[in-house]
Amino acid sequence: MDQQKDMWLKVRTKGNANPQGKARVYFTCHPLDFDLYFDNICEQIFRTQDCAIYYTEDMSMTYSDDDMETDLRQMTLFVIPVTLKLLQGGNRAVETDPAFANENHIPVLPLMMGSGLVDLFTKRFGKLQYLNPNSMDETAIRYEEKLKSFLENVLVGSELRRRVQDAFDACIFLSYRKKDRKYANELMRLIHKDPKYRDIAIWYDEYLMPGEAYTENIEAAMRRSELFTLLVTPNLLEDPNYVMTTEYPAALDQKKQILPVEMSETAHAKMEEKYRDLPAIVRGCDDAVFYDRLQEELQEIAKEAKDKDPNHYYLIGLAYLEGIDVEKDTGRAVEMITMAAEAGLPEAMQKLAVMYHEGLGVERNWEEWVKWRERDAAAAEEEYGEEDEIVIRKKANLLYTYAEMGRYSEVIDQGIKVYETTKKVMGDTEPGTLKILNSIAVAYGGLGDYETELEILQMVQEMYEMEKDISGDDPDRGCTLNNMACTCMKMGDTERALEYAERSYEIRREVLGEEHPETLITRYNIAMMRGVSEGPEKKLELLEEVYELQKKNLGEDDPDLLTTLSSIAYSYYEMKDYEKSLKLSEKVYESKKNVLGEEHPDTVDELHKMANMIDAYRALGGNEKASELIGRLERLRSNS
């Protein structure tokens, strides 16, 4: 492999370790976001995963088709920080990368780096799930936990990678020029096309970087390989190159079996001049001759497939899923992992559930996701009994699965029994017990039974307060109180909603800080609630305090800030200060139109609000402006 110093992909690893053999993550973002987020996101990932994070130094560079096919296609995960700049378009991280990942069944992990971006994100990315470092969801699972869980599910960790590598029958060393990487992938697929050789690893450089450990890693790989395969193209004749000066002579010195395979027409006589003692070259396009020669070289090392061992199927399937010592082949990976799952291997069932949920090697299919989670839980219960903690955890995960799909009746029906078992085994106030109870509450809310939802949430909150081991500054308490406030608002009980929101705000202010986006959202909600009982003047006073803090920490066009400004405008309208109201409303409308587009629901909603202020325009002698607004709204309606 050539030691090229101008590789288009750069890499970051934990402790600057060699990236060879590590799970491959690709980081992409808006060019102006790289310096803001790259280091921090790498640090977050490295806390739980010893992987290699690849990126380009210039985030505005375009890819060649070969780059995408040979390099990006080998990635296991794409990570994208989502910001307002990104969602406004005109950059590859939103225009090109997600589509490529989706086409190749590579999961995408969007990290929501700003608040108020969900609608615009959905418009750009569809129903793709995201993680929000600045928020906690209704099940009170924190960002760090969710990130860790996601990465552990999608990426194969170092211990499991070693198990995968130990499952191979033998190893081939593939020697080639870096500029021939496309041919290298074709040759690997050709070797593994015959099921007889499916379980043979192929060591190749992946993205091995030049440096102190470069030669050392190659020498170690060659020592443990049984066959040296030389990929022959005219590029091997260029003098000098690393294959000619280092790898091929090392294979001769170690007396390795050598198999030259021609993947592009090359002068054989010149090859024999430059590569001493070169065995006869076989053409990769001649299947019969190629496999005869391969059989001859491998007859001592190739073993029979372990047809009755589901664990072996699972491990080799993982190898093809992630490209561990073989080329990535998601079709073969799914086939082998499914065979292991059908044979009852729990690891395989769990992996299939993750694959179908995240789109890892397959198209997303939530029905398959549920099916394999159900089968996994049922198999565990049959083996260990319903009171085993592993079984309880699997059943709890199944509840979250049903809730995510909106199957609330099943959450309630099965959740009550799971809750009683969990309470018996783990105790009333153990976090896992409370999360199950919270899931049941959310399910009742999803069915429109807000009274029962609130009753259960109150029970959860009481248990938080009772449990001495849960510290007073635990943000989960603030999350539950916020959920209770939202439920009360859905019930039209503003007084109770305000009480819960203020308690939630005090906790979030103490734990997250006065200016944290979640704290400010809670404070905004309080302002709106107090406006109902105390009038627009009080609401305006509180909203302006929120706005000043948001303006200090968020951009002028941040959706949360615009929402606050829109509410301030309407407060002025309620107070009959039409001039200020109209000035702010027009500012909000123009900002939303520029950021979200004229036909975005939020922009249209803002226009509706302005149209409802027609009397304000007329009071200021703005009949012409009022007519213009009405006409604009009618045009939007006719185009929708």
Domain boundaries of the chain, sorted by first residue: 10-155, 168-298, 535-544+556-640
Mean of the pLDDT values across residues 2-31? 81
Paired tokens of 167: 């499952």
**Alpha helix (H) ranges present in 427-535?**
431-446, 450-466, 475-490, 494-512, 517-534
Summarised one tens digit per residue, pLDDT across range 430-444 is 878 888 888 899 899
Summarised one tens digit per residue, pLDDT across range 510-533 is 888 888 887 888 899 999 999 988
Q: Is the pLDDT score of 325 beyond 50?
A: yes
Mean of the pLDDT values across residues 95-107? 93
* 617 closest CA partner among 585, 578, 567, 576: 578
CA distance linking residue 640 with residue 635, whole number of Å: 9
Residue 27 pLDDT class (50, 70, 90 cuts)? very high
CA distance linking residue 191 with residue 187, whole number of Å: 6
Residue 497 pLDDT class (50, 70, 90 cuts)? very high
Look at residue 639 in the predicted model and tell me its pLDDT: 57
CA distance linking residue 329 with residue 192, whole number of Å: 10
Contacts for 617 with CB less than 8 Å, ≥ 6 apart = 578, 582, 623, 625, 626, 629
CA angle 620, 625, 629 (to 5 degrees): 130
Q: Are 112 and 130 in contact (CB under 8 A)?
A: yes
Summarised one tens digit per residue, pLDDT across range 224-282 is 888 999 999 999 999 889 999 989 999 999 999 999 999 999 999 999 999 999 999 99
Mutual angle of helices 143-154 and 346-358, in 10-degree steps? 110
Mean of the pLDDT values across residues 287-308? 73
Residue 380 pLDDT class (50, 70, 90 cuts)? very high
Average pLDDT of the chain to the nearest whole number:
85
Q: Are 134 and 112 in contact (CB under 8 A)?
A: yes
- The continuous run of DSSP H or E covering 551 comes out as helix 536-553
Look at residue 138 in the predicted model and tell me its pLDDT: 40
Residue 637 pLDDT class (50, 70, 90 cuts)? low
Summarised one tens digit per residue, pLDDT across range 169-228 is 889 999 999 889 889 989 999 999 888 888 899 988 764 444 445 567 777 788 888 899
Whether CATH 1.10.10.10 fits 168-298: no
Q: Decide which of 43 and 216 is more confident.
A: 43
Q: Decide which of 240 and 342 is more confident.
A: 342
Look at residue 557 in the predicted model and tell me its pLDDT: 73
Look at residue 98 in the predicted model and tell me its pLDDT: 93
Domains 10-155 and 535-544+556-640 agree in fold:
no
Q: Is the pLDDT score of 320 beyond 90?
A: yes
Cα dihedral sign, 605-609-614-616: negative
Highest-confidence range of 8-17, 49-58, 140-149, by mean pLDDT?
A: 49-58
Q: Is the pLDDT score of 140 beyond 60?
A: no
Please give, one letter per residue, the 3-state secondary structure of 187-208.
HHHHHHCCHHHCCEEEECCCCC
State the amino acid at position 184 in one-letter form.
A
Q: Decide which of 605 and 537 is more confident.
A: 537
Summarised one tens digit per residue, pLDDT across range 586-609 is 888 888 887 777 777 777 777 777
Q: How does DSSP assign 22-41, residue by residue?
A: S-EEEE---GGGHHHHHHHH
* 105 closest CA partner among 321, 371, 366: 321
CATH value of 535-544+556-640 in 3.40.50.300, 1.10.1200.10, 1.25.40.10, 3.40.50.2000: 1.25.40.10
State the amino acid at position 20 in one-letter form.
Q
Summarised one tens digit per residue, pLDDT across range 409-432 is 999 999 999 999 999 998 888 878
Please give, one letter per residue, the 3-state secondary structure of 397-417.
HHHHHHHHCCCHHHHHHHHHH
Look at residue 209 in the predicted model and tell me its pLDDT: 47
Look at residue 136 in the predicted model and tell me its pLDDT: 47
Q: Decide which of 79 and 560 is more confident.
A: 79
Q: Is the pLDDT score of 629 beyond 90?
A: no
Q: Is the pLDDT score of 139 beyond 50?
A: no
How is the beta sheet containing 10-13 ordered, strand by strand?
A: 10-13, 52-55, 24-27, 77-82, 108-112
* Residue 515 to residues 483, 518, 550, Cα–Cα distance (Å): 20, 8, 8
Summarised one tens digit per residue, pLDDT across range 261-271 is 999 999 999 99
Q: Is the pLDDT score of 554 beyond 60?
A: yes
Look at residue 617 in the predicted model and tell me its pLDDT: 65
* Residue indicated by tokens 């202010």: 509
- In percent, the amount of the chain with pLDDT more than 70 equals 88
**In the CATH hierarchy, which fold is given to the domain comprising 10-155?**
Rossmann fold (3.40.50)
Paired tokens of 60: 């505005």
Look at residue 428 in the predicted model and tell me its pLDDT: 83
Mean of the pLDDT values across residues 299-318? 76
Residue 64 pLDDT class (50, 70, 90 cuts)? confident
